[in-house]
Structure 1
Amino acid sequence: MTSFSSLDGRPLALALVSEHASPLATLGGVDAGGQNVHVAQLAGALADRGHRVTVYTRRDDPDLPDRTPLRPGVEVHHVPAGPPERISKDELLPYMREFGRYLAGQWRARAPDAVHSHFWMSGLAALWATRETPIPLLHTYHALGTVKRRNQGRADTSPPARVACETDVGTGCDRVIATCRDEVDELAAMGVPRGKVDIVPCGVDPEVFRPDGPVAPRGAHPHRLLQLGRLVPRKGAAVSIAALARLRTAELLVVGGPPPDRLDGDPEVRRLRALAARAGVADRVRFLGGVPTADVPALMRSADVVLCPADYEPFGIVPLEAMACGRPVVASAVGGQLDTVADGVNGLLVPPKDPAALAAAVTVILADPALRTAYGKAGRRRVLERFCWPRVASATEASYRTALAARVPVAGAL
């Protein structure tokens, strides 16, 4: 009987494929956000469990080295696929065959025990690379084209083939690792059997994001609201700005987007500034642009409430970061936020695209300091119980070993 050495609990050689979201990227850009954080932190947490991790991401700069150590036990491998320059992720599909061929060549020489792809195009490349090998493939979508198309309609810039390709990845891989319950229902509607889907949430580092520590300076306004994330319309900054008109005592910090010195030229910033001016709140909205990751906890701690009003959210790491910092969250009742934010326990859930509902929820929290404290403490407890990276890595490893066990030939089989 053939067996896999990794089935007995020994460390694994793992390949994480993340074609556009490098764990080395600066966060806050259009294509740099939660997936980058997730891949970097998951790789590190798996390494802490003794595994050897290689993250494969597309080379988008000719000066990047072939391989870059991320931390002990984790190496980033820059894959030559397409021109070595920044390309929007929506334009990367033509280079995925090349990406997959490169992976296949690498893995013929030295095969990992398991491959875990992140985002649908990574899944395609990894599926092509593993089709004729015994390497199990697991996949995390991070976002689904069906959800994006339903919410964005004609504004969806994804390649037309995305949904069909996502279905191919889901039915062709060994297991899917979904990040929330809502995603399992979406996958089932696509034809991906529920029995091959494990739910493993994203995580947060509670030692980095914690209630105590430096606090960013406050302004003259009695209350501060914070919205952090990629500066794209679906994240709902326009909803927060509209809600601010009903919240007379608060200022709003919007964190994300281009570096501060390039904010004036950013179309989304210009759009949001115009909305703020029309709403009469321009003097209470501050755009900070992209900030270093190390500065985020102090900004979180300076806020009375963290807003997460996305139109849709496959998971959403920002609520976890706020909860870990002991801050109440008001979030739209969509996607993964239905799992992370316990309504009336560590924050409030509101309908998406509804400034009045967002403002009403924030008003309740701002009016009651004791409630803010209670929500903050409950959020911290929830993070420690469910969303720490060691827990996430342990559950992810369990999915890997399930996929490996299913690949073991039955005794006596040829």
Structure 2
Amino acid sequence: MVKIAMVAGQVNPLLGHGAHADAPPQGLHVHLAELSSALAGAGHEVVVYTRREDRDDPDRISAPGGYEVVQVPAGPPSPLRPDETASAMGEFGSFLDREWRQRPPDITHAHYWLSGLATQLATRSLGIPTVQTFHSLGTVEHRIREKTAMDASARDRIRLERLLARGATRMIATSSDEVFELARMGLPRTRTTVVPSGVDAVHYSTAAAPDTTRTRKHRLLAAGPLELGSGFDIAIEALAGIPDTELIIAAHPAPPYLSRRADEQEKSRLVKLARVRGVQGRVRIRRDVGRDEMPGLLLSADTVVSTPWHDPSGMLALQAMSCGRPVIATASGGMLDTVLDEATGLLVPTRSPEAVAAAARRLLSDATTRATFGIAGRDRVLARYTWDRVAEDTLRAYERCVPVRRTAHRTARTGVQ
């Protein structure tokens, strides 16, 4: 058994288990919850340290997945934006130092760069190995904004990410693309292990009941947060070149630190764009789509479209593949690994409505190819992207830092009876 300390100052894994009704259906909350559950199910002791956001919440919570959540009093007990959370990391790190002097883990695993700050502050004098996963890199986020000038906070983040990568015992990247980015930052590739995100192949399966409210012959589905970088505008512009097809945009609930007004502004922008492109009658935006609704929506689509500016995890593609649906995805980030071009879907250039339209016309005109891609996608998920498989890969990365004694592993959650 390995004693694992997960550090996630901005992410409460209980949201991933649906402890809150407005929890987003994907993202770091789900990643942390599912990975912690799988590691605990494999017989390891897992404690997750997250920042307290409600003064009435208990200090320690036993999560449904068999791990413990410690809510660290650092900063105000309320949701904070990422830039606001940075000021609380010194206090967070001091708590970890006190905690680990009394209750030392065998290994720590920091998620996101801010958590890495707190973790390395605590471990530098304790001699505890530290694994770091960024999930998203400041260099990439700045690059996808193209001509936007780099402000002081962005420069600080990039500088600190370099220091954290060098200071960590080992890096875990979520994609091959991230390995190359870390190498550009000066980190030897030999110090990095690729462990992708996973998907709950039972929840996202072909057994779910599909949504049947179709108004056109074909349906495309896009999903994600209602924000500019999600690339919904690319899908809307592509729709103008795809006849007799509707587009459903499944918008996830916004994080609590964002105002409802931001959602409304982005929705208004998309509605206006659909009107300008002459497809307003074929675009439907569904707000606050939760985790339970997603499988049915995925199964209702002929093809799933994932066109964000950048997606480190390829989560929507994984969900679609798990449900046996082909994917049209931008060739960037985690989707370069997740989607096998011409096997489980089609990869297209970023921000290219013309390429999306051409790919959609091809797939929508060929039911056999759609079915073949869908079967291959489901098989790929079961072989590579279940959370138990992700936990096994994570443990192999830990083994590069500390001895890991294997225990009886539970049956993988694949949905296969």
Give the TM-score normalised by structure 1.
Answer: 0.90
2:307–2:351 CA contact under 8 A, matched in 1: yes
1:70 aligns with 2:63: yes
The answer (yes or no) to whether the contact 1:263–1:289 under 8 Å persists in 2 is: no
**1:244 counterpart residue number:** 239
Q: Corresponding residue for 1:276?
A: 274
1:20 is matched with 10
CA distance in structure 2 between the aligned counterparts of 1:29 and 1:292, rounded to whole angstroms = 7
Please name the residue that 2:213 is paired with.
218
C-alpha change, 1:271 and 1:61, in structure 2 (3 Å) is: farther
1:160 CA drift (Å):
3.3
Equivalence for 2:120: 127
Q: Which of 168, 171, 175 is equivalent to 1:173?
A: 168
Structure 2 distance, partners of 1:306, 1:167, is: 36
Matched residue, 1:6: none
**Do 2:22 and 2:290's aligned partners in 1 also have CA atoms closer than 8 Å?**
no
Q: Does structure 1 residue 110 correspond to structure 2 residue 103?
A: yes
Matches within 5 A, 1:135-214: 135-153=128-146, 154=148, 159-214=154-209
Specify the alignment match of 1:88 in structure 2: 81
Q: For residues 262 and 164 of structure 2, what CA distance do their matches in structure 1 show?
A: 40
Amino acid at match of 2:382: L
Shift of 1:367: 0.5
The 8 Å contact of residues 20 and 31 in structure 1, kept in 2 or not, is answered as no
Assess, with a 3 A threshold, how the Cα gap between structure 1 residues 199 and 206 changes in structure 2: closer, same or farther.
same
Residue by residue over 1:122-159, the C-alpha shift from the partner in whole angstroms, topping out at 9 and shown as x without a partner, is 11111111111121110111000001111114277864
Shift of 1:63: 2.5
> d(CA) in 2 for partners of 1:398 and 1:39?
17
2:341 — aligned with what? 343
- 2:287 is matched with 289
Secondary structure in 2 matching 1:404: coil
With over 3 angstroms needed to count, the CA separation of the structure-2 counterparts of 1:44 and 1:155, relative to structure 1, is farther
Q: CA deviation at 1:72?
A: 4.3
* SS at 2:13 equivalent: coil
Q: Aligned pair 1:380/2:378, yes or no?
A: yes
Partner of 2:409: none
Q: Does the 8 Å contact 2:24/2:291 carry over to 1?
A: no
Q: Are 1:79 and 2:60 an aligned pair?
A: no
How many corresponding residue pairs? 395
Read off the aligned partner of 2:44 and give its amino acid letter.
H
Structure-2-length-normalised TM-score: 0.90
Per-residue CA shift, 1:350-398, capped at 9, x if unaligned?
0000001011101100001111100100101111111111111011011
Deviates more, 1:145-154 or 1:71-80: 71-80
Per-residue Cα deviation, 1:189-212 (whole angstroms, up to 9, x for no partner):
101111110111111121111112
Q: 1:402 aligns with which of 400, 403, 406?
A: 400
Separation in 1, partners of 2:150, 2:293: 32
Tell me the residue number matched to 2:412.
none
- Higher mean displacement: 321-330 or 93-102: 93-102
Task: Specify which of 364, 373, 380 is matched with residue 362 of structure 2.
Answer: 364
- Cα distance 1:258–1:393, how it changes in 2: closer, same or farther (>3 A)? closer
The separation in 2 between residues aligned to 1:194 and 1:265, in whole angstroms, is: 39
Q: Which residue of 1 aligns with 2:414?
A: none
For residue 35 of structure 1, report the CA deviation from its aligned partner: 1.4
Distance of aligned partners of 1:31 and 1:162 in 2 relative to their CA distance in 1, 3 Å threshold: farther
SS in 2 for 1:224: strand
Structure 1 residues 36, 140: CA separation in 2 closer, same or farther (over 3 Å shift)?
same
Counterpart contact for 2:252–2:290, Cα < 8 Å:
no
Residue pair 1:177, 1:200 contacting (<8 A) in 2 also: yes
Assess if the C-alpha contact under 8 Å between 2:26 and 2:315 holds in 1: no
The alignment yields a C-alpha RMSD, in angstroms, of: 2.2
| Partner residue, 2:413 | none
Please give the per-residue CA displacement for 1:29-63, whole angstroms capped at 9, x wherever unaligned: 99984211111110011011011211111112222
Q: Which residue number corresponds to residue 8 of structure 1?
A: none
Give the whole-Å Cα distance in 1 for the aligned partners of 2:214 and 2:313: 31
CA distance in 1, matches of 2:101, 2:332: 42
Letter aligned with residue 89 of structure 2: M
The unaligned stretches of length 5 or more in structure 2 are 255-259, 405-417
- Distance of 2:252 and 2:195 partners within structure 1: 28
Q: Are 2:319 and 1:321 aligned?
A: yes
Q: 1:291 to 1:324 in 2, by over 3 A?
A: same
Aligned match of 2:415: none
